């Protein structure tokens, strides 16, 4: 044992000096600020949150970014621009989404296209040089089709403006069957004199095939001329002289619509409906569930029996019957999802309030005179917020996926709106020839599902009161 001399001990403070506690220098952090700080530390969830913000930006502004509305203004002309492949500025310089496509077409058609001025620059690779030098080369005598890489925008302009892809096959069928089908019928346009003058002013007329004089429907005494011509499709419809200067970022649909615009219009419909359905489900389910869970008793027993009856009704039956009776109006779809969708929120609210209503801090608040409403909103609800917010965040992609699935199956068919499921349905039908029509809508669904799942997990941890202050 150490022997310490008392004389060696020195008082740090004098006897007449008061020792006071120093105030904490750190700032007070509230519940939501602490939740935000913990959420930011979850890197995966934060990246998912950024992705969701980007998606919401395009859902809001994407439909207005392209300024292309030909499929609504003139569906016939738009159909001539159908199924164009994606082409993105800057990326096309790197050979990604550059508007090129590998196609298989007749040998005679490709050689003819490659040799005339209208077809200049269309074929990028695929035709052997010896076949170009000698179209009757003996090594290719038995070859009827060739696989080549083309500038798909120039190629589409060629077959819709100058000579259709089926030109030589129609000519051959005429020779075999003795028929007189016009091989240029797909590219011929019949114009009135006013329309002809308008197209001349835009310099879109390639050539005049025939001029017809017919009876004037307005004044029989005046001549009435109709002009059968071939028009430069891209110049006439889009006002551009060089098809290579046109960019459709996601390509075009089978009706000639801009897939980028269509996708974000469909996504907007799905997101807005999801928000409406989730809000109604949350308000109805959580309100009833919290009251039932907090008070219990006979009300709890009655509501449980009622919920059992409603939950036993198959959702697919509800949706099918409503759409058969009232059609696929947006309010019908929302009503179908709310009719049984509120039950899950009801069970969460009931379970959470029943779980926390007998905790010590609830007893303390009740002892201090707090009302039931204050206890439910101020003391119990924040402890249930993590599970509720997570459920709401995960409900958005679940609704989008479900709605897209039923749209894909044809159960939901909007009359005046586009949905992502309808786009996927169109893409599946032609996925072997036009994969971009499936790739972009399906990719959007996949990214949305993953992002919201990671985002929901981050919210669950961020709003968990038991993790407050835990590093």
What per-residue confidence (pLDDT) applies to 18? 67
Q: What is the pLDDT of residue 457?
A: 82
- Distance CA(304)–CA(314), nearest Å, equals 18
Are 438 and 250 a contacting pair, CB within 8 Å? no
DSSP string, 319-387: HHHHHHHH-S-HHHHHHHHHHHHHHHHHHHHHHHHHHHTTSHHHHHHHHTT--HHHIIIIIIHHHHHHH
The residue whose two tokens read 């029509």 is: 437
For 200-247, how does the pLDDT look when each residue is reduced to its tens digit (9 = 90+)? 888 889 889 888 887 777 777 777 888 999 999 999 888 888 888 899
Q: Decide if 400 contacts 444 (C-beta within 8 A).
A: no
User: Which pair of structure tokens corresponds to residue 179?
Assistant: 């028929």
pTM (global) more than 0.85: no
Q: Residue 394's closest CA among 449, 445, 467?
A: 449
Cα of 379 vs its chain's centroid, Å: 40
Collect all residues with Cβ–Cβ distance below 8 Å to 8 and sequence separation of at least 6: none
Predicted pLDDT of residue 19:
63
As a whole number of angstroms, the longest Cα–Cα distance in the chain is: 136
pLDDT (0 to 100) of residue 213 = 82
The reported pLDDT for the residue numbered 38 is: 81
Dihedrals phi, psi of 227, to nearest 5 degrees: -115, 125
325-378 pLDDT, tens digit per residue, is 888 888 888 999 999 889 988 988 888 888 888 888 888 888 888 888 888 888
Per-residue confidence (pLDDT) for residue 21, from 0 to 100: 66
Helices 436-462 and 259-295 cross at an angle (nearest 10°) of: 30
DSSP conformation letters of 247-290 = --TT-B-TTS-BHHHHHHHHHHHHHHHHHHHHHHHHHHHHHHHH
Around 357, how many Cα atoms within 13 Å sit in the side-chain half-sphere?
A: 17
- Residue 273's alpha-carbon distances to 122, 276, 334, 410, in angstroms, are 44, 5, 7, 18
pLDDT at 56: 92
Q: What parts of the chain have a pLDDT lower than 70?
A: 1-2, 11-27, 31, 464-471
Please tell me the predicted confidence (pLDDT) of residue 298: 86
Residue 228 contacts residue 190 (beta carbons within 8 Å): yes
Q: Which residues pair with 380 in a beta bridge?
A: none
């Amino acid at each position: 044992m150490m022997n310490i001399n008392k004389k060696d001990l020195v008082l740090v403070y004098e006897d007449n000096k008061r020792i006071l506690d120093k105030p904490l220098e750190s700032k007070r952090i509230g519940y939501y600020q602490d939740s935000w700080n913990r959420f930011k530390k979850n890197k995966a969830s934060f990246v998912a949150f950024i992705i969701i913000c980007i998606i919401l930006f395009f859902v809001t502004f994407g439909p207005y970014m392209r300024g292309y509305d030909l499929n609504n203004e003139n569906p016939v002309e738009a159909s001539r621009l159908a199924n164009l492949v994606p082409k993105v500025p800057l990326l096309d310089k790197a050979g990604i989404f550059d508007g090129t496509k590998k196609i298989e077409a007749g040998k005679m058609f490709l050689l003819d296209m490659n040799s005339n001025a209208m077809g200049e620059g269309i074929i990028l690779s695929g035709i052997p040089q010896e076949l170009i030098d000698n179209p009757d080369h003996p090594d290719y005598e038995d070859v009827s089709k060739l696989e080549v890489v083309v500038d798909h925008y120039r190629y589409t302009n060629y077959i819709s403006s100058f000579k259709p892809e089926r030109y030589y096959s129609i000519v051959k069928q005429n020779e075999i069957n003795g028929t007189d089908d016009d091989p240029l019928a797909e590219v011929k346009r019949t114009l009135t004199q006013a329309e002809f003058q308008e197209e001349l002013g835009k310099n879109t007329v390639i050539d005049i095939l025939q001029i017809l004089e017919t009876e004037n429907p307005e004044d029989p005494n005046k001549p009435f001329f109709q002009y059968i011509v071939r028009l430069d499709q891209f110049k006439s419809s889009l006002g551009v002289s060089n098809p290579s200067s046109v960019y459709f970022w996601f390509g075009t649909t089978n009706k000639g619509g801009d897939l980028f615009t269509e996708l974000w219009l469909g996504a907007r419909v799905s997101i807005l409906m999801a928000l409406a359905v989730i809000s109604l489900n949350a308000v109805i389910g959580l309100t009833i569930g919290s009251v039932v869970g907090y008070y219990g008793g006979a009300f709890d027993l009655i509501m449980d029996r009622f919920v059992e009856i409603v939950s036993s009704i198959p959702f697919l039956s509800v949706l099918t019957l409503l759409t058969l009776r009232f059609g696929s109006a947006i309010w019908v779809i929302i009503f179908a999802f709310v009719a049984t969708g509120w039950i899950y929120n009801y069970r969460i609210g009931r379970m959470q309030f029943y779980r926390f209503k007998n905790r010590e801090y609830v007893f303390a608040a009740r002892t201090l005179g707090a009302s039931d409403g204050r206890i439910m909103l101020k003391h119990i609800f924040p402890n249930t917020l993590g599970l509720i917010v997570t459920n709401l965040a995960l409900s958005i992609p679940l609704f989008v996926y479900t709605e897209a699935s039923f749209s894909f199956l044809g159960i939901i068919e909007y009359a005046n709106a586009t949905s992502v499921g309808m786009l996927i349905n169109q893409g599946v039908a032609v996925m072997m020839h036009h994969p971009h029509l499936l790739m972009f809508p399906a990719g959007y669904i996949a990214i949305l599902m993953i992002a919201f799942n990671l985002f929901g997990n981050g919210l669950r941890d961020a709003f968990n009161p038991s993790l407050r202050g835990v590093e």
